[in-house]
Homo-oligomer: A and B are copies of this chain.
Amino acid sequence: MPIEKASSNIWLTEYLSEGEIYQYLISKILLQEQSDYQNICIVELENKSKALILNNVLQSSTADSHMYYEPFIHVPFIHNQNPENILILGAGDGSSAREALKWKCVKKIKIVEIDKAVITSCMAHIPEMSKGCFKNSKVKIDYLDARIFIKQDEQKYDVIIYDLNLKTLEKSNLLGRIDKEFLLDCQSLLKKNGYMCLEIGEVPYQRNELFLSKLNVFKSVFRSLKIFSSWVPSRCKNISFVLLSKDKIIETIPIYDVNLLLEKQLLDEPSFLNARTYIGLMNPAIFIQDYEK
């Protein structure tokens, strides 16, 4: 495949595993800076989309942000049915708050972000991600470490979205690792019928003891757990999320009810997930069903 017309020859390289490399062509660097916490880079890719890169790991792209954030936000919201008070740990480019604001019932969104530079950089260079959400009157931002925030917060939430990329956390000095103590603190902030949701990367398709032990930490704190996955082209991965609840999670909410709920709640047409897609996400491959047990 010739790249005769390519506008640059800058390839960003990521190791997907020890034996796999994924490289993508960057046509233009829009911002490159070192904040107090991490390396922030905003680029234009060869397909004309823009992407946020933190510590050399691509976080999201304007081309397929909806393929990541619609499942991530709407699945826990569908299960809660009437989410009013939302906590988002990690502001990122604003995509999670943007999706949350599509729900009529949402009254308050608290964003906790340690690195103000991420928000200001994204607002300046990729405002199409946040779509003004950081300025929305329902949204309040606390510039604080998530781990400290959850120790001192006294509010209760319907949904907690943990939107910090684990791979980036490993590479940086940020706190906020997910351990039992952290999960217990989060769980204590959930209202009745509350849900916590977070990304868990790509689920290993062969039985993997390390991955199982990580899931067991979730299972030791929350009564039930569901895994759903979405193919995210710019990450070159089938990204999985875990939905956590103190109560038993209904395996699949009937399609008719989901249809009614989305029609009633959504202020904006979804572009990735409707009631049928939700049913699809809730019914994964056998190896994922086995991990849920």
Contacts and interface: CB of A to CB of B under 8 A. Distances in A.
Contact of A281 (B6, B11, B278, B280): B280
Nearest to A280: B283
Interface in A248-270: 270
Interface in A10-45: 11, 15-25, 27, 45
Contact of A22 (B6, B22, B286): B22
A229 interface: yes
Nearest to A204: B233
Contact of A3 (B18, B46, B64, B231): B18
Contact of A272 (B22, B283, B286): B286
Contact of A283 (B24, B202, B276): B276
A11 B21 contact: yes
Interface residues of A, number: 49
A1 interface: yes
Contact of A271 (B46, B238, B274, B287): B287
A285 B67 contact: yes
Contact of A280 (B3, B15, B16, B280): B280
A286 to B, nearest CB: 6
Contact of A286 (B3, B18, B64, B271): B271
A183 to B, nearest CB: 27
B236 A231 contact: no
A172 interface: no
A188 interface: no
Contacts of A27: 19
A273 interface: yes
Interface string A187-218: 00000000000000010011000000000000
A235 to B, nearest CB: 11
A230 B284 CA distance: 10
B287 A283 contact: no
B229 A231 contact: yes
A282 interface: yes
Contact of A205 (B21, B233, B278, B279): B233
B25 A23 contact: no
A152 interface: no
A24 B22 CA distance: 9
A206 B46 contact: no
Contacts of A67: 205, 285
